[in-house]
Amino acid sequence: MTNVRVSVYEDNALLRESVTSLLRLKEGVQVVDAYENVLAIEEQIKNDKPDLVLMDIDMPGMNGIEAVKKIRVFNDHVAILMLTVFDDDHHVFDAICAGASGYLLKKHISTRLFDSIDEMMSGGAPMSPSIARMVISSMQQGARDPNPYSLTPREREMLSSLSNGNSYKLIAAEFAISIDTVRTHIKKIYEKLHVHSQTEAVAKALKEKLV
């Protein structure tokens, strides 16, 4: 491992010092800084330019999960290892979904921290089998839903025709219905997609592959 820059976020002063001291024992690891909260996370990450962030989930003011979301808005490549006292599926799963790269229980820091860092910097994602299953299940669930807005078959046909640039008159002729009926269908489509215009509807349909 060659010169991995690490930033630590942990509100417990004793643990924060223990983690940073442990990291300094590992060859090729440089502790950039250690912080007691994440309230200035954006400025700190941009200034420190870490390769790896160790992030406590339970932080004061703003928790680690929210901090991960903020980081991912402007930085999608830094590795983020969540530190947690509880093997709580809900919190850890939320952190992974927010963009964390993996997690480590605090009780295992002394024995598994270096292995977790090596794994992450090699492109891995340290997490328990139960969390891995939840992540995979969530991804499969998303992939299985080709119609997240519950559009009817006719509404999907209308949206497709609309996306092809057809006017209400042409759509009415295509489906042998009145223009008023077309308007009713289109209004319903707008409501389901949460849009307010044909341009928005078509853009959303194409971006999210609804047609």
Read off the pTM: 0.65
Q: Is 50 within 8 Å of 6 (Cβ atoms)?
A: yes
Q: What is the pLDDT of residue 145?
A: 60
Cβ pair 113, 19 in contact under 8 A = yes
- CA dihedral sign of residues 56, 57, 58, 64: positive
List of domains in the chain: 4-142 (3.40.50.2300), 153-207 (1.10.10.10)
How far is C-alpha 176 from the chain's CA centre?
44
Distance CA 71, CA 144 (A): 29
Q: What is the pLDDT of residue 97?
A: 85
Q: What residue ranges of the chain have pLDDT lower than 70?
A: 1-2, 88-89, 139-146
For residue 164, give both structure tokens: 């092809």
Q: Tell me, what's the pLDDT at 141?
A: 65
**30, HSE (Cβ side, Cα atoms, 13 Å):** 9
Instruction: Write down the pLDDT at residue 185.
Output: 93
